[in-house]
Amino acid sequence: MAYYTHTNTASASVIERILAATANLLHSAAARYARYRIYSQTYAELAELGDRELADLGLSRSMLRGLAWETAQKQTGV
């Protein structure tokens, strides 16, 4: 008994593109979440410092968010 199988390459291509787009979406979401976690942890640790300790480091409270964001970007490679 003989069988004929025909694969539609156009629909396979569309499925591959959808899967690739989904993988990219998940990857970028994971990267954003990792960056957010680093930002949150860094900000929380810096915010716990007293004004005197921050001054010793040459920082002010207004610099903490920017510094935490910069740290998160560097650590995640963005």
- Report the pLDDT averaged over residues 61-78: 93
In a domain, 68, yes or no: yes
5-33: per-residue pLDDT in tens? 666 666 778 899 999 999 999 999 999 99
Contact yes or no for 51/13 (Cβ under 8 A)? no
Range of the domain at 47: 9-76
- Report the pLDDT averaged over residues 51-64: 96
Euclidean distance between CA atoms 30 and 68, whole angstroms: 19
Q: Structure tokens of 1?
A: 């008994």
- With a pLDDT cut of 70, the percent of the chain lying above it is 87
For 60, other C-beta atoms within 10 Å of its C-beta total 10
The model's pTM is 0.74
In a domain, 3, yes or no: no
In a domain, 40, yes or no: yes
